[in-house]
Chain A
Amino acid sequence: DQQVKQNSPSLSVQEGRISILNCDYTNSMFDYFLWYKKYPAEGPTFLISISSIKDKNEDGRFTVFLNKSAKHLSLHIVPSQPGDSAVYFCAASASNQGGKLIFGQGTELSVKP
């Protein structure tokens, strides 16, 4: 039972345009959500997070939106740069379940010059 789903395995975007990565979850107890970025042969690195008490969090070119009623979150990257090409994982956590992170399958973003 996949509690966190990223239904798009890959996404290709032109440099300078917006990249939108999507994530859906099923567990209504999740109250904290994170996005990680992963380059080949490296460990994932934290990108941005959002608590369930908010519906938007912004950090530079990166914005995460949370729609609790739809159990959906998205990551917007504006403008996209070639260095953003990586695999992006969304993750969710429930504070009453010890804060374990449950990850989605990942979306591979390719930003073309």
Chain B
Amino acid sequence: NAGVTQTPKFQVLKTGQSMTLQCAQDMNHEYMSWYRQDPGMGLRLIHYSVGAGITDQGEVPNGYNVSRSTTEDFPLRLLSAAPSQTSVYFCASRRHSRSSYEQYFGPGTRLTVT
């Protein structure tokens, strides 16, 4: 199993450009989520999904869109990039459970917006 994969590893955007960060998992996990990591802020939840066709907002959803058309994939879209979105982005997944919330993380995408 490859686990959780993310592409690209690095990206530089100009203000106003759009792009999609890709995330895929091969563990048949129902739950997937996106986080951003900023210095001194820890990991903050952007959006999450409990299954195909179902998404919801996290702590910092503004400026980001998501969709979940398959169990495997959970792309994160930046429609109009802003310098405040410069960050490291992590995708994570876990199986549905009522007793355990351990998530598996991808290696991250480092995004710079100039």
Residues in A lying within 8 Å of B, measured CB to CB: 4, 6, 9, 32, 34, 36, 41-46, 49, 51, 89, 91, 93, 95, 98-106
Contact = CB atoms under 8 A, between A and B. Distances in A.
A105 B105 contact: no
Contacts of B4: 43
Interface residues of B, number: 30
Interface of B: 4, 31, 33, 35, 40-45, 48, 50, 56, 58-59, 90, 92, 94, 97-108
Contacts of A89: 42-43
A44 B93 CA distance: 12
8 contacts: A43-B105, A43-B108, A45-B105, A51-B99, A100-B33, A101-B33, A101-B101, A101-B103
Contacts of B43: 44, 89, 91, 101, 103
Contacts of A36: 105
Contacts of A100: 33, 45, 48, 58
A95 B100 CA distance: 9
A50 B42 CA distance: 20
Nearest to B91: A43
A44 B105 contact: yes
Nearest to A90: B42
Nearest to B4: A43
Contacts of B105: 36, 43-45
A6 B59 CA distance: 18
A99 B45 CA distance: 12
B90 A44 contact: yes
